[in-house]
Homo-oligomer: A and B are copies of this chain.
């Protein structure tokens, strides 16, 4: 005899599934938020390397960037989120969802430079941090050029 899932268990299972599969709008909002946090912390580092340098400030900002880079942002770009609105309409290009090799290379470069920035920030040498911040920004720009429509 085929057993039916008790209603309570079914409800729990559905709740768990819902939790594990956020809606596209939610995923788009989260990824837009993640990039805003990257922008905030990039701006802080830029202000430090272009102006008065505060080692502790740069350590905090670069650690936040690295942790977000390492967090698995790719999971916020599943099929089905090529279009849609989070905080605002997504600006992702459709090619991000088809160019797996290119996206993988871009993500690897971003992670590498972000982790290296967090590493050199510990030493507090402004010139080294500025050079590495430049290397990181190149990976940002390259990915935006290829996979962001504006």
A residues in contact (CB < 8 Å) with B? 16, 19-20, 22, 29-30, 32-34, 36-37, 39-41, 43, 46-47, 50-51, 57, 60-61, 63-64, 66-68, 70-72, 76, 87
Asked whether, in the complex, the Cβ of A33 is within 8 Å of the Cβ of B22, the reply is no
Residue of B nearest to A32 (CB): B33
Select A16's contact among B19, B50, B61, B72, beta carbons within 8 Å.
B50
Interface residue SS majority, chain A = helix
Residue of B nearest to A34 (CB): B37
Additional pairs, 6, CB under 8 Å, beyond known A30-B36, A30-B37? A19-B43, A19-B51, A30-B40, A32-B33, A57-B72, A61-B71
Interface pair A60/B71, CB less than 8 Å apart: yes
Q: Are A33 and B40 in touch, CB under 8 angstroms?
A: yes
Q: What CA separation (Å) do A68 and B41 show in the bound complex?
A: 10
Residues in chain B near residue A34, CB distance under 8 A: 33, 37, 40
Cα of A37 to Cα of B138 in the assembled complex, Å? 24
User: Per a CB cutoff under 8 Å, which of B16, B36, B50, B71 touches A33?
Assistant: B36
| Cα distance A105–B67 in the bound complex, in angstroms | 25
**CB pair A72 B51 closer than 8 Å:** no
Assuming the A-B contacts A16-B51, A37-B33, A40-B33, are A67 and B72 also in contact, with contact meaning beta carbons closer than 8 angstroms in the complex? no
**What would be 26 A-B contacts, judged by CB atoms less than 8 Å apart?**
A16-B47, A19-B46, A19-B47, A19-B51, A22-B43, A30-B36, A30-B37, A32-B33, A33-B33, A33-B34, A33-B36, A33-B37, A34-B37, A34-B40, A37-B37, A37-B68, A40-B76, A41-B71, A57-B72, A60-B71, A61-B71, A63-B67, A63-B70, A64-B67, A67-B68, A87-B87
